[in-house]
Amino acid sequence: MTLPRFSTSHALTLGVELELQIVDTKTFDLAPAAADLLRQMEGRKTPGDVKPEMTHSMIELATGVCADHAQTLSQLQEVRAALLESSRQQGVALSGGGTHPFQDWSHRKIYDTPRFNELAKLYGYLAKQFTVFGQHVHVGCPGPDQHSSCCMA
């Protein structure tokens, strides 16, 4: 896999991604409900994005590019609230952070996208076995060769 071209952005803008577990509310095991949640979210107007993650038991929410912490927090809260409402309507819960304590990785199905299929082909069963739920914080930078002092006032 080759690295994508560097995308420039304004210095110190922020973007956050949260990878969430989709959990069955009766068994507390992971539930393969990502496609249902995505369909439920289709008509909603929210900032940022909700998209599939590596398996059908994961979902990712993300902010757009934010100017500051307050805007980032506002977007996270808005998209999270919409996703939580959709998950309640689907009868599943959402959980974040780390790994699921007892899920059986062999039951996980890779979400059908070119990227996830390529990763599954490259890493085999590890693509499902080491499924983790994390948070990514992206900080804007004007260019790939800019010194960090360019961003400080």
Q: What's the pLDDT score for residue 149?
A: 54
CA–CA gap between residue 42 and residue 28 (Å, rounded)? 26
Mean pLDDT of 69-93: 95
Taking the domains of the chain in order of start, what are their residue ranges? 14-142
Cα Rg, the chain, nearest whole Å:
17
Which residue do the tokens 């060769």 mark?
145
CA–CA gap between residue 93 and residue 24 (Å, rounded)? 6
Which residue do the tokens 């009766």 mark?
26
Q: What's the pLDDT score for residue 56?
A: 95
Q: Is pLDDT of 123 > 70?
A: yes
Q: What separation in angstroms does the CA of 67 have from each of 7, 79, 113, 151?
A: 16, 17, 31, 13
CA–CA gap between residue 54 and residue 58 (Å, rounded)? 7
Residue pLDDT, tens place only, 21-68? 999 999 999 999 999 999 999 988 999 999 999 999 999 999 999 999
Residue among 43, 14, 33 at smallest CA distance from 87: 33
Report CA torsion sign: 120, 113, 85, 16: positive
Q: Position 126: which residue type?
A: L
CA–CA gap between residue 117 and residue 113 (Å, rounded)? 6
Report whether CATH 3.30.300.30 matches the domain 14-142. Answer: no
